[in-house]
Structures are given as C-alpha cells and as structure tokens.
A and B are shown apart, each in its own frame.
Chain A
C-alpha cells in the first residue's frame, strides 16, 4: 500500500508540473517588462472565485496587496500597496471554478 501511495503521489507531482494555466490575461502581462504597476489585474474567461494571490520579489519577499475579494467574477483588480523597486517579480494565484474545481498558476514580470 505504501508503494501504491508513493507511485500515485509521484504521478500527481509529475502531472501537476504539466498543469495548464487557466488564466486568460493579466496586467502586467506574463513575462512583461515595464514601469512599476500600481494594481494587479487578473482576467479569466469564465467566472471563478479567486482564493489567493501572492506577489513576491526575486528574494521571495511578499508585497502587500488588497484583500482577495470573495465575489465570483471573471476579472479581478488588486491594488499593490507598496512601490515596486526595479527587478523581477512573481505572481502566484489560485482560484475555484465550476464544481469547486481548483485551478492555479504563476507568472512573472519585471519592473524596469
């Protein structure tokens, strides 16, 4: 049984590594480079309930964002509460779609 669980969990990790992103667009866009944004905008093709969003710099330090709204929607705009210094940033998000199907993803952008 232990072997079975190990096989399935290994399979899960491999599968998750290939999980496709369900986010349609964002501002800043994925891999974009430009001035420091004051808001983070995430757009999904359908309605979802956004459950978490984290913005971190290259050192892994979290940046303070608006509280994630509890509303079900397709576009979410979160204010960034501190100025972003030039450098690379990563956004990690998670949302719940139809029938509590959980989707998640990450993307990066650079502030010049």
Chain B
C-alpha cells in the first residue's frame, strides 16, 4: 500500500491549498497520475476516502491518468513507457521510486540510459473545488 503514503501527501497538500484559498468545504479534488509510477487508482481512491478530513466529507476524488513520455538525451528519440516491457521486479522498483527507471529502461533506438521523463512521472494535484 505505497498508495497510502501518497494519499496522505495528497490530503496534506489539498488541506494546505483549501486553507490558503479559504475553502470551508472541499467538493472535488482532481489528481493526475503518471503511468510510470503505476499507481492503482482504486487503491489510491480507497486510501483517500479513508484519510479525508471533515472538510472533505462530500468530496469526490477524480483521478486522471497521464501517459509517460520519455526522451533520449543522447539521440533525441521519444517514446512511451510501457509497463509490460519490464519484468515484474523492475516494474515494482519503479513503482516505489520512478527515477530507478534509469536503471532498467534504455532508449529503444540507441540504448542510452540518459533520458528525460518529459511527463507522466508520478502523482500531481491538479485542481481543487469547494465552497467558501
């Protein structure tokens, strides 16, 4: 349940934003999840529902997925991350710390491990709606 720790971070960050924006009640929280970290949306949603504070009582958690784009710094090739191309232990390691992708993934064109994660790395808070 690595998702639980990330859910705690999402709630803490959302509470800080709600407080800053003077929201007494939060009605919707939108979270973007990059494919690289392989977060299970159902587990994340369950953890969020268990952790939500009173001011989030009626809040809906919208979770959107983002594809992971990688770009080779050596040859410029761009490609999409595909979990099924990794063995189970490598996929699990990347789930915990996405940066170890540099250990297990190489540019499919030139073989370099020096690539950039352009987008779709991990968990982002995208939007919060609520009532003042």
- Asked if A and B are interacting partners, one says no
